[in-house]
Amino acid sequence: MEVIARIRNDFPTKFGLPRQAGLAPSLRSKIVFEPAYRVPEALRGLEGFSHIWLIWGFSATSGTPTRPGSEFHWSPTVRPPRLGGNVRMGVFATRSPFRPNPIGLSSVRLEGIEDDGANGRVLIVSGADLMDGTPIYDIKPYLPGVDAHPEAADGFVGTHAQQLLEVELAPELAERLSPSQQSALREILAQDPRPAYHAAHPDPKRIYGFTYAGLEIHFTVEAGRLKAFG
Amino acid sequence: MEVIARIRNDFPTKFGLPRQAGLAPSLRSKIVFEPAYRVPEALRGLEGFSHIWLIWGFSATSGTPTRPGSEFHWSPTVRPPRLGGNVRMGVFATRSPFRPNPIGLSSVRLEGIEDDGANGRVLIVSGADLMDGTPIYDIKPYLPGVDAHPEAADGFVGTHAQQLLEVELAPELAERLSPSQQSALREILAQDPRPAYHAAHPDPKRIYGFTYAGLEIHFTVEAGRLKAFG
């Protein structure tokens, strides 16, 4: 498996990162091809598709038991955040990174294909759930005729719909972000970036923090309301 | 990348194989886990999903330029069958196997999870476009909330809808197949398994052949009508 591209965006770490593709539709990312794959012809026709698939590597899932070559490099069961972090499901029934082959799959919106100086042609996408620098192994067009099954049964996921939080950004934080960065941050915070266990056992005094767009974002959560400050 | 499972079905070669997932919804396949991944707990909760993703290897794309380690192991442009085989598109705008990393992505319907003797628990799926023995690297649940975009623009694909053929199975062929094998074979043949160049330059006298369910299937095509015999 060769790295063909890397994603670039405002998330240097996985904390705060959306847990699935599409949860933060305003979040823009740039896909920069590695020099060997910086071939404009390879993108011919891609502009006609509104969505693309990214097949990528869970490269920086810190704390994972993934150790290639070890017989303990995957876990048959995992605790999905959606279930509050205390129910075990089979790894193949989840999108968890703790898999035999730590490969991620995300559909993202293709916003454009641009010239980016020394980077050559880059893809601008929105809705990605990949952190900055994540290696990408393949890019495919999204084909609604074969890929879209809106009627599909979604197991334990559908019965545990995410409750969105109300989000309040402190003015001194908001003014340091562009309008689209503000929108993306609001979407991300509304999804409740706290660890599942904390969300299930809330402490309104606890201050959480993560890095976004070069800023330290801090927040507290009380009674369904998230207050973010710098 | 470790092989976690292999698919088992009635297609020993790629000729005749559906060109995309879902084109032959009656085609059943069995997914048999490799011994190291034959862990029943890893499937817990999967039964609640109607569709799953398979991430797999284009292991037997004979005639491909894929030679790992060579700088010529992928082609920046390919000729999609959908466009008659004479128009070049960028490989990332297609689902062609001639990619930097020869990985396939298919959504299939999960029909059931069964005990299969020495094979342990196996998945029964329908609509797969993988040939018998294809290695599978990952299995993920299909999440309609994040994976289904029925409104997505499908580039050159949508404007070149496949014209289905009328199919006639000779009685002596039909009687050697089970009803579900007959249904699958009809769906496969209706998609026109001829090479794209032949379909664009038809010869009604030409006899095509491929192996399916242990039988040699032969067929001719004339004026939108396919006649199959044993």
- Give the tens place of pLDDT for each residue, A43-70: 999 999 999 999 999 875 544 444 444 4
C-alpha A57/C-alpha B209 separation (Å) is: 40
Predicted local distance difference test score (pLDDT) of residue A222: 97
Say if residues B48 and A156 touch (Cβ distance below 8 Å). Answer: yes
Size of interface A-B (CB pairs under 8 A): 224
Angle at A84 between CA A103 and CA A166, to 5 degrees: 100
Predicted local distance difference test score (pLDDT) of residue B169: 97
C-alpha B88/C-alpha A153 separation (Å) is: 37
- Smallest CA–CA distance from B25 into chain A, residue: A146
Mean pLDDT, rounded, for A167-189 = 97
Predicted local distance difference test score (pLDDT) of residue A157: 84
Among A118, A147, A176, identify where a domain stops: A147
- Residue A111 domain-assigned (yes or no): yes
- Residue B52 domain-assigned (yes or no): yes
Return the structure tokens found at A32.
Answer: 């920069």
- Alpha helix positions (H), A79-192: 144-147, 155-158, 171-174, 179-190
Give the model's confidence band at B225: pLDDT under 50 very low, under 70 low, under 90 confident, else very high: very high
Give me the number of domains chain B comprises: 2
Among B90, B117, B147, identify where a domain stops: B147
Predicted local distance difference test score (pLDDT) of residue A70: 47
Mean pLDDT, rounded, for A80-106 = 91
Distance from CA of B10 to the nearest CA of A (A): 21
Same domain (yes/no): A126, A188: no
- Residue A72 domain-assigned (yes or no): yes
pLDDT digits over B72-105, tens only?
468 899 998 878 788 999 999 999 998 999 999 9
- How many angstroms from the chain centroid is the CA of residue A79? 18
Q: Sort out which chain B residues have CB atoms less than 8 A from A52's CB and list them.
A: 92
Q: Sort out which chain A residues have CB atoms less than 8 A from B42's CB and list them.
A: 76-77, 90-92
Would you call A91 and B42 a contact, using CB atoms and an 8 Å cutoff? yes
Mean pLDDT, rounded, for A207-223 = 97
Same domain (yes/no): A76, A180: no
Return the CATH number at A26.
Answer: 2.40.30.70
Would you call A55 and B155 a contact, using CB atoms and an 8 Å cutoff? no
Predicted local distance difference test score (pLDDT) of residue A25: 94
Distance from CA of A129 to the nearest CA of B (A): 11
Same domain (yes/no): B119, B184: no
Predicted local distance difference test score (pLDDT) of residue B65: 45
Query: Is the C-alpha dihedral spanning A227, A14, B42, A151 positive or negative?
Result: positive
Would you call A90 and B51 a contact, using CB atoms and an 8 Å cutoff? no
**What 3-state DSSP class applies to B5?**
strand
Distance from CA of A137 to the nearest CA of B (A): 7
Predicted local distance difference test score (pLDDT) of residue B63: 43
Mean pLDDT, rounded, for A127-134 = 96
**Which neighbouring-strand residues pair with B222?**
B225
- Smallest CA–CA distance from A50 into chain B, residue: B153
Same domain (yes/no): B101, B215: no
Say if residues B46 and B110 touch (Cβ distance below 8 Å). Answer: yes
Same domain (yes/no): A32, A140: yes
- Residue B188 domain-assigned (yes or no): yes
Predicted local distance difference test score (pLDDT) of residue B208: 97
Mean pLDDT, rounded, for B158-182 = 91
pLDDT digits over B36-49, tens only?
999 999 999 999 99
- Residue B76 domain-assigned (yes or no): yes
Mean pLDDT of chain A: 91
Predicted local distance difference test score (pLDDT) of residue A73: 67
Same domain (yes/no): B184, B136: no
- Residue B197 domain-assigned (yes or no): yes
Say if residues B92 and A140 touch (Cβ distance below 8 Å). Answer: yes
Same domain (yes/no): A167, A198: yes
Give the model's confidence band at A218: pLDDT under 50 very low, under 70 low, under 90 confident, else very high: very high
Same domain (yes/no): B46, B132: yes
Q: Sort out which chain B residues have CB atoms less than 8 A from A5's CB and list them.
A: none
Of B88, B139, B155, the CB nearest to A92: B139
Give the model's confidence band at A82: pLDDT under 50 very low, under 70 low, under 90 confident, else very high: confident
Say if residues A182 and A174 touch (Cβ distance below 8 Å). Answer: yes
Distance from CA of B173 to the nearest CA of A (A): 30
Same domain (yes/no): A14, A59: yes
Same domain (yes/no): B135, B181: no
- Residue B190 domain-assigned (yes or no): yes
DSSP B198-227: HHHS--TTPPEEEEETTEEEEEEEETTEEE
Predicted local distance difference test score (pLDDT) of residue A85: 80
Q: Sort out which chain B residues have CB atoms less than 8 A from A78's CB and list them.
A: none
Q: What is the CA radius of gyration of chain A?
A: 18
Q: Which carries the bigger pLDDT value, residue B60 or residue A137?
A: A137
Same domain (yes/no): A13, A97: yes
Predicted local distance difference test score (pLDDT) of residue A140: 98
Of A101, A148, A153, the CB nearest to B50: A153
Top mean-pLDDT range of A156-160, B68-72, B105-109: B105-109
Predicted local distance difference test score (pLDDT) of residue B86: 84
- Residue A62 domain-assigned (yes or no): yes
* Structural domain for B201, as ranges: 163-229
Residue A95 has pLDDT above 70, yes or no: yes
Q: Which of A218, A196, A45 is nearest to B91 (CA)?
A: A45
Same domain (yes/no): A28, A97: yes
Mean pLDDT, rounded, for B126-138 = 96
Place of tokens 């817990």: B44
Residue B62 has pLDDT above 70, yes or no: no
Would you call B92 and A22 a contact, using CB atoms and an 8 Å cutoff? no
Residue B206 has pLDDT above 90, yes or no: yes
Residue B28 has pLDDT above 60, yes or no: yes
Say if residues B146 and A20 touch (Cβ distance below 8 Å). Answer: yes
Q: Which of B75, B56, B228 is nearest to B125 (CA)?
A: B56
Would you call B22 and A146 a contact, using CB atoms and an 8 Å cutoff? yes
Of A23, A42, A77, the CB nearest to B91: A42
